[in-house]
Every structure is written in structure tokens, then in C-alpha cells.
Amino acid sequence: MKNPNREFKDAIYEQFSRIGKAVSSPRRLELLDLLCQGPRIVEILAKESGLTLANASQHLQVLRAARLVEADKEGLYVNYRLADQAVCEFFRAMRVLAESRLAEVQQIKRRFLEGREGMEPVNRDLLLELVREGGVIVLDVRPAEEYNAGHIPGAISIPLKELLLRLSDLPRDQEIVAYCRGPYCVLSIQAVEMLRSRGYQAVRLEEGIQDLRALGFPIAVGKEA
């Protein structure tokens, strides 16, 4: 005889497991992280994640089947976006949990940053306060589309690939705080090394837009003058 209580619980947890299965791939986690920055077409997502177009499309289809992302056809391109801001909050909560429970995360990070110029630990609270008060030059080195989707108010948008050509836009007598997508994004690391090697005062802000939003920072949308 079937137990309706057991059937109910089995059915519910089966649905919950769809989310777990969808995020069980490191590549799909990276795609979610990229989509937290704003909507992107498949071609850009494939390039940023180091995937072939076919593999990126397959991973995105899995995320779409779990209702984590949505897609729209725009001419010849398919534009993907998160189904809801809650998806990004879920991703960040999972990342923070991994950071607190898995010592390997910090070990990998420490090995990667060891010996890199300008990556010494900084007082995060003081740095965030300077950013909040406009006491430093804030530099967003993500692609312009990501900046437009959400950025620190007053931040200067100079994508990393344009930085060398636009150094004259930055003052040499003020501290520059560079940021990108979050603690595991390497764009701001490269930017700080590039700036410091050319005599600029530069440090890296680990937090990305989603972290700052969770900390209660105001986030601006669109282009700034």
C-alpha cells in the first residue's frame, strides 16, 4: 500500500535535487557567476568561460531546464540571463559556504596570489569605507556591458583590455581601488599589477557587485558621465 506522506516527501525532494544536479558542474557554476554580472549572449559566455560554443550551449540548457536561467532569441543570437536575482543570491550563499567549510578554497587562493605585486592583505572594512565615501578612485575593469548592468556609484569604467591605452585617465597622486566580478575574478589582479608596475598607487577590492549588494552598498545601473 502506498504511503501518501512518503510519496509527497519523495516528490518534493526530487524537485529540490534538480537544482543540485544543475549546479554539480564547475563549468555551470562559472556560467552562473558570469550571468550574475548581467545578461550575455552565448558566444561571450563561451569565450569568458573557456568553453566551446557547443559545450557552453549544452551547459546553459541544463541550467535552463532547472529554471535557473532564461533565454531570448535576438536576431542571430541567444541572450541568456538569470531567471531571478534569487539565483545569484543562491550562488553567492553556496560560494560563501564553500569558503567557510573547505580549507582547500583558501589554499588555492593563497597559492595563486603568493608573490604577486599589490596582493598583500588590506584592511577590508577601511577600504570599503573609503569606497563608500568616495575617498579613493574606484576602477571597474569588467567589460562595459557588466558595468552598465550594475556598478559602484562613481566608479570609472575602463575594461582591462583598454587599460594600457587609457592610463592618462587615471591620476597618479591618488590611490586607485580596482574591482571586477568578485574574489575569484582575475581581471582586477591583472589591473593592479599593471598599474603598480607603472608607478600608480593601486590595490584590489575583492568584493564584486553581488557581495557589495549583500553588504548594503548602493549599486548604480547604466552609464555614468
Question: Which of 26, 20, 19, 21 lies closest to 83 in space, CA to CA?
Answer: 19
88 flagged as catalytic: no
pTM over 0.85: yes
Q: What is the pLDDT of residues 12-53, one digit of tens each?
A: 999 999 999 999 999 999 999 999 999 999 999 999 999 999
- Asked if the model's pLDDT at residue 143 lies above 90, the reply is yes
Eight-class DSSP state of 97: H
Average pLDDT over residues 62-72: 97
- pLDDT at position 132 is 83
| Close Cβ partners of 218 (under 8 Å, ≥ 6 residues apart) | 153
State how far the Cα of 122 lies from the Cα of 135, in Å rounded to an integer.
Answer: 16
State how far the Cα of 160 lies from the Cα of 151, in Å rounded to an integer.
Answer: 15
Q: How many CB atoms lie within 10 A of CB 156?
A: 18
Eight-class DSSP state of 81: E
Q: What is the pLDDT of residues 80-111, one digit of tens each?
A: 999 999 999 999 999 999 999 999 999 999 89
